[in-house]
């Protein structure tokens, strides 16, 4: 019976040892798989960060371009406004000169009419 107990103990030991070896192999494979997943996740996180940085720089560039475009439009409108103001001043000067000429012409016509009236009144007398 002693031999049977030894055989049974050895069998249980071998069975337990095979379970431990199998368990260790499964744990190693799980650890490898987890490590692969962690590496993949880290790589994807780095890629996402790169994409995010690229997007931020593109947005900053677009904002710069829009600001530059708005500045150019503003400058263009300012030049047009200044030109319009100058044109308005010139037109006002021309109108004022025309008004002065019209007044002078009116005065000279008035003088001529008075002269003609005096002449006619002298001739009628």
Residue pLDDT, tens place only, 83-124 = 898 989 989 999 999 899 998 888 888 888 888 888 777 777
Q: What is the pLDDT of residue 33?
A: 92
Q: What is the pLDDT of residue 124?
A: 72
Q: What is the pTM of this model?
A: 0.44
| pLDDT digit string, tens, across residues 53-73 | 998 999 999 999 999 999 999
Q: pLDDT confidence of 50, banded at 50, 70, 90?
A: very high
Q: For residues 58 and 69, give the distance between their C-alpha atoms in angstroms, rounded to a whole number.
A: 16
Q: For residues 60 and 78, give the distance between their C-alpha atoms in angstroms, rounded to a whole number.
A: 27
Neighbouring C-alpha atoms within 13 Å toward the C-beta of 78: 6
Q: For residues 35 and 14, give the distance between their C-alpha atoms in angstroms, rounded to a whole number.
A: 31
Is the confidence at residue 38, as pLDDT, over 80? yes
CA-based angle 29:34:31, to the nearest 5? 35
Look up residue 107 and give its two tokens.
Answer: 């005065």
Q: What is the pLDDT of residue 1?
A: 60
């Amino acid at each position: 019976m002693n031999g049977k107990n030894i055989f049974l103990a050895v069998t249980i030991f071998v069975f337990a040892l095979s379970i431990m070896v199998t368990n260790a192999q499964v744990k190693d494979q799980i650890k490898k798989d987890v490590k692969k997943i962690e590496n993949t996740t880290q790589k994807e996180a780095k890629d996402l960060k790169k994409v995010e940085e690229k997007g931020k720089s593109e947005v900053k560039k677009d904002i710069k371009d829009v600001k530059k475009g708005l500045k150019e439009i503003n400058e263009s409108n300012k030049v047009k406004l200044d030109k319009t103001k100058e044109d308005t001043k010139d037109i006002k000067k021309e109108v004022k000169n025309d008004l002065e000429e019209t007044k002078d012409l009116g005065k000279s016509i008035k003088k001529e009419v008075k002269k003609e009236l005096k002449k006619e009144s002298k001739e009628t007398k």
